[in-house]
Copies of this chain bind each other. A is one copy, B any other.
C-alpha cells in the first residue's frame, strides 16, 4: 500500500488530540531551533504543528515551503500549538521536496500583480483556500435554492449568433471559418425553455469583451440565470432576494472559519433577509440629488451612483422601474406608465452595487416587434425570439445573477479577481 493511503485529515487528527496518527500535506511554515524543528503542515482541512527531534534533522533539511510530506507520530496536547495539538514525528513516510518556493512574504504583503502571475501557486494560500471554500458553498446553495423551489436546471449554448445585450462587447470565435459569438447571457434560451418546463435556471459561464479593467468586471464570469412562465417583475424580484438570502445563510452556517480567516465582518450578511428594500428609480434619483449627486431623471445609475445609493441602506435593495432607454429592448414597459419598464436590479450594500438585473419580458408579439424597431434593431435578427410570441406566449419574468460578484460581497473582497481562481481580463489569460 502507498504510504499516503493511511493518512487522516488534519482536522480529524486535531479533534482526536491523542494517540498515533499519519497525516499528509504541504509544508506551510518551517522553524529550525537548536533541539527541534517545528513544521506547520497544511492540508485541505487544517494545519497541524509537527515536531521533529534532533535526530530527524537530516531528513527535514531538504524540506522547502510547500514540499509535500507524509509523516507518522504521536499526538500530544500543546496549548501553544494551532488547534492545541502537536504531532511528534516518528517517521517521514514520503516526501517530495522540490525547489525553494518562489512566493515570499513581501509579494504577499504588496498583493502585487506577481500573485496573478503565479496564480497556479498562489491558490495554495490560506486566503485563497478560504475564498474557494466559500465559493463552493455559494454555488451549492444556488443549485439547492432553485431545485427546492421547483426550477429545472437547463443548459444553453455558449456559441450564439443573436446578441442579448447588443453587439458591442461580444467575443468573436472562428467557427470553421464562419464568425460566431460567445454568449453574454442565456436569457433568450431560457425564455424558449419556459414553454416546456415553466421554471428554469442555468449556472454557466458568460462572456463580455470588457476592454477596461474595473473592480467588478472580468471577461468571463459565472452567471446564474432564471426564467419563469406566468410571472411578473415582483415575482422575479422575490426569487432574487430569496436566492441571495439562502446563499448568505448557507455561508454563515458552513463557513464561519473561512469568514474569520478573511477578516470579514458579518453584520451586513446577517441582515440580508427578505424583504429587501424596494426603491423606485424615481426615488433613487431623489435620494442621490439630496446627497449632492448631479443626476437627472433619465440618466443612468452607474457604478458610482450605485455605490452612493447602497451606502444609504443597511441591506440589499431592489431598484426598479428604470426608464425605457436605460434597459434592453426586451423589457416590458409598465402599462400604467409606459415611460418606465418593469425592470429591476438588486444592489448589494456596503458599496458593492449591482448583482442582479432582471424584470418582466415583453410577451406580446406586436409590442416586441415595435420596440425592437424603436430601438433601431432589425426584427430579422431576432426571428426565433419573436417566434416565441407567435405560438401561445405567456407573461414571464427572469433575471441574471453575477455569482462572482455575489461571492465578492460575501467575502468582502476589494476586487472581483480575488474570488475567481483563474481570473481573465483584458490583459490576462494565463496561467
Contact = CB atoms under 8 A, between A and B. Distances in A.
Contact of A96 (B128, B393, B421): B393
Interface in A337-396: 363, 365, 384, 387-395
A219 to B, nearest CB: 7
B182 A173 contact: yes
A132 B196 contact: yes
Given A139-B153, A159-B429, A207-B158, A192 B123 contact: yes
Contacts of A388: 120
Interface string A146-158: 0100001111111
Interface string A129-149: 100110110011001000100
A180 interface: yes
B161 A171 contact: no
Contact of A421 (B99, B156, B232, B389): B156
Interface stretch (A32-40, A64-72, A301-309): A64-72
A155 B421 contact: yes
7 contacts: A66-B392, A96-B392, A139-B155, A140-B153, A143-B143, A157-B424, A384-B431
Contacts of A198: 43-44
A158 to B, nearest CB: 5
Q: How many of chain A's residues touch chain B, expressed as a range?
A: 35 or more
A25 to B, nearest CB: 9
Interface string A412-431: 00000000111010100111
Given A96-B392, A123-B196, A140 B136 contact: no
Interface of A: 2, 4-5, 7, 24, 26-27, 43-44, 64, 66-69, 96-99, 101-102, 120-121, 123-125, 128-129, 132-133, 135-136, 139-140, 143, 147, 152-162, 171-176, 178, 180, 182, 189, 192-193, 195-199, 204-205, 207, 209, 211, 219-220, 222, 230, 232, 363, 365, 384, 387-395, 420-422, 424, 426, 429-431
Contacts of A429: 157, 159-161, 175, 178, 180
A319 to B, nearest CB: 23
Given A157-B220, A171-B174, A172-B173, A4 B44 contact: no
B153 A391 contact: no
Given A140-B147, A176-B209, A384-B431, A132 B193 contact: yes
A7 B136 contact: no
Contact of A431 (B26, B121, B192, B207): B192
A230 B158 contact: no
Would you list the 8 A-B pairs with minimal beta carbon distance, nearest first? A68-B392, A44-B198, A384-B431, A66-B392, A120-B384, A66-B391, A157-B422, A136-B152
Q: Which of A102, A120, A189, A393 has the most CB of B within 10 A?
A: A120
A27 B392 CA distance: 8
Contacts of A430: 161-162, 384
Given A176-B211, A391-B98, A132 B222 contact: no
A157 B384 CA distance: 30
Nearest to A103: B391
Contacts of A222: 155
